[in-house]
Amino acid sequence: MTGPESGPKNGASTFTVGLVQMRSGLDPAVNLVVASKLIGEAKAGGADYVQTPEMTNIMEIRRERLFAAIVPEEADPSLAAFRELARKHAIHLHVGSLALKLPGERAANRSFLIDRAGEIVARYDKIHMFDVDLANGESYRESRNFRPGELAVAADLPWGRLGLTICYDLRFPALYRALAEAGSSMLAIPAAFTRQTGEAHWHVLVRARAIENGSFVLAAAQGGRHENGRETYGHSLVVDPWGNVLAEGGVEPGVVLAQVDLAAVAAARSRVPSLQHGRRFEVATPMAEPLDFVAAQKSHGERGGAPPRGAPR
């Protein structure tokens, strides 16, 4: 991660966000056509920064079909096309994630931030793997196919610093606090939340990450029933540092637009300066007795006399 907080590079703090909501299928070429069309719509709507969801290029959990369809980063046609789209539209394009082949029969769940010249300015590999068994019988083992990342990443846009995360990372608040402490005024959470977990937790978790860090959250999502049978929640969100939802998608593919004014970050952080008030601490070893009871016993032992009321005799 980069260091101290980074302010606007061009003196402007206001820009337009475009979130691309998708329903990615099994064919990366088809998904690229859909994503390209929606990115164009976002640009036509005035977007300066466009974000696509997690697994933009393919939605598949079966290992054989996944590895038959993906390629290494340097050979990936989707990434090359997205770089060209960023150049063509003169936008900052954040590819929420692509599944890319790695050596050793593993894959990366990797985000790319591409600048207006089509250059890749940041890569981020998802740190937290979605290995869960849900109450409705759905079971996921992301770690069987994907190698987890080990590095938190923040990158500078013309308006401020962006912290990069992906989907399940959302449930690990320490990552977002670290990104905010490293100067991020925006937090990106491209996602493919399941319908079940999304209905229960998506809004409250996204808003919590915004509120507790005094940051904008930009979260493009997958939505609907996919070719492989998986159902995702959708509801792409733009949330301000006070927890207000500025824009929200539904379940269908489309584009969500919102104007972001980063002056709201300084305002929120001045009202509740929790980033300044955070303190490092240690966790005490659990004790057999409550701390106040132990303290009372110690105090009595120092003074002598009868033991405190309720103490063993």
Cα separation, 131 vs 57, in Å, equals 21
- Residue 8: left if φ>0, alpha if ψ -120 to 50, beta else—which one? beta
Catalytic residue, chosen from 43, 60, 101, 167, is 167
Torsion of CA 110, 112, 118, 121, to 10 degrees: -120
CA quadruple 145, 147, 152, 154: dihedral positive or negative? negative
Torsion of CA 178, 181, 188, 213, to 10 degrees: 100
Is-catalytic flag, 126? yes
User: Within 23-62, where are the H helices?
Assistant: 28-44
Cα separation, 100 vs 73, in Å, equals 6
Pairing of strands 216-219, 186-188: parallel
Catalytic residue, chosen from 43, 101, 126, 231, is 126
Catalytic residue, chosen from 54, 60, 142, 231, is 54
Is-catalytic flag, 119? no
Cβ pair 291, 57 in contact under 8 A: no
Which residues are identified as catalytic?
Answer: 54, 126, 167
